[in-house]
Amino acid sequence: MLSKQKLIKLISNSLKISEDEISFDSKINHIEEWDSLGHITIMFAIDKATKGKASKIVKLNDSNGIEAIYKLLKKNNLAE
Amino acid sequence: MKNFIEIAFGSKKINIQNICNKKFGKQKSNLILSKTGPKFIKICNSNENSLTLAIKAFIKLKNKNKKINFKNLIFVTENNIRNYPGNSFLFASKCNLSEELNLFDINSGCTGFVDAIKLADKFKDNTLIVCSETYSKNISQFQRNVSTLFSDAAAVFFYDKNKFKVINEKSGYKKNTYDFITSKNKNLTMNGKKVFDFVRTVVKPQLSNHLKLNKSKSIKKIFIHQASKVIIDYFKILFKSKYIIPTNIVKRGNTVSATIPVLIFDNIKHFKNEIILCGFGVGLSYSLITLKIND
């Protein structure tokens, strides 16, 4: 199960930026590093962290920020 | 062992790392290449095209195996050199092949080789499968997501009915995704994010199902289309514990329908017993088979 903090850490690691540079409210267009390659890396990391279960969430790829990703993961019992 | 397959690449070598370093700086360049894969790609020069590459590969094959005998020819390409006829007719004439041949052209992307194997398996006689792609001719100026990825290459594969047999197959496409990899007026565009999403939500589950339905101790290897390094890494993480997943994306780049035969050529030691071939891409579509190889 991913917590809010673990998700922020996972995303900052994926984008190769400091955790201080993002917050729960951060959206794609707020972060320069969150381009299409960055987004793919995030999805990759989430699938890996959930052992592939997140790949069943069809709308996850269309999420436009951390909160939206977290809500979808929580709805599918993959976040606490 | 390689007497049924040959490959040929475009002769112009492009240093992707240098171009990216200049455009994006070294740090960002390393990040991009860690996702895309190749540091160098090979593309056609002005005298080369999908037909000349295919002929080059075929001559190499004929030189090492003079006994190949086929009654069908399937030419797979998205880069026919004429609107019509398809490349199969030009190839057959230029290679002085029998006028009794059945000629087929498939306009298919990264699933093309697997689609051709499915067809070849249904024919009564042996088939020569040719996959030849020159995406570089559809890229007029540098684009980060495509210029860093695609090499131009051809592969010829002799489908001997005594040697190969398709055990089972599965294919499909996703509606309204045709814009995500497309070329209009010779201008290639690709939405990498959407393609990756297709891989996550369609290809991966279909491949998992295919593996479940084909639980055989002899199936140990999956030859996956070399789309990009990030996608191969993704499959490796999900399936590596049970399967060998050969890769050559860093060395060769993405050669569209030729990637799987080029991968077979580079990993011939793994091409035995029963294997899975998994193509996916333009459409967006996927094509999967279990192939039995008799030594």
pLDDT of the residue at B254:
96
Domain layout of chain B by residue ranges: 5-159, 164-293
Distance, in Å, from the CA atom of B111 to the CA atom of B76, rounded to the nearest integer, reads: 10
Mark yes or no for CB contact B201/A58 under 8 Å: yes
Mark yes or no for CB contact B197/A37 under 8 Å: no
Residues in chain B closer than 8 A to A58 (CB atoms)? 201
| CATH architecture entry for B164-293 | 3-Layer(aba) Sandwich (3.40)
pLDDT of the residue at B72:
98
- Give the chain B residue whose CA is nearest to the CA of A14: B31
Interface-testing mutation among B144, B175, B197, with chain A (most A C-beta atoms within 10 A): B197
B204 contacts chain A (CB < 8 A):
yes
Distance, in Å, from the CA atom of B268 to the CA atom of B6, rounded to the nearest integer, reads: 11
ipTM for the predicted complex comes to 0.71
B200 contacts chain A (CB < 8 A):
yes
Mark yes or no for CB contact A56/B193 under 8 Å: no
Note down pLDDT in tens along chain A; length 80 residues. Answer: 889 999 999 999 988 888 888 889 988 888 888 887 888 889 889 988 998 888 888 888 888 899 999 999 999 999 98
Q: What is the mean pLDDT of each run of 10 residues along chain B (295 residues)?
A: 91 94 89 90 95 97 92 96 95 96 95 97 97 91 84 97 94 94 86 87 90 79 94 86 92 96 95 94 94 90
Return the amino acid letter for B178. Answer: Y
DSSP output for A1-39:
-B-HHHHHHHHHHHHT--GGG--TT-BGGG-TT-SHHHH
- CATH number of B5-159, picked from 3.40.47.10, 1.10.10.10, 3.40.50.700, 3.30.70.260: 3.40.47.10
- Give the chain B residue whose CA is nearest to the CA of A15: B31
Q: From the list B193, B200, B233, which residue is nearest A55 (CB)? A: B200
- Tell me the whole-structure pTM to 2 decimals: 0.88
Distance, in Å, from the CA atom of B131 to the CA atom of B9, rounded to the nearest integer, reads: 12
Question: Which has the closest alpha carbon to A7: A77, A75, A76, A73?
Answer: A73
Q: State how far the alpha carbon of A60 is from the alpha carbons of A56, B17, B117, B126, B227, in Å.
A: 9, 32, 34, 45, 21
- Bridge partners of B106? B76
Residues in chain B closer than 8 A to A44 (CB atoms)? 196, 230, 233-234
Q: Do domains B5-159 and B164-293 have the same CATH topology?
A: yes
B146 contacts chain A (CB < 8 A):
no
Q: Residue B64's Cα: distance from chain center in Å?
A: 22
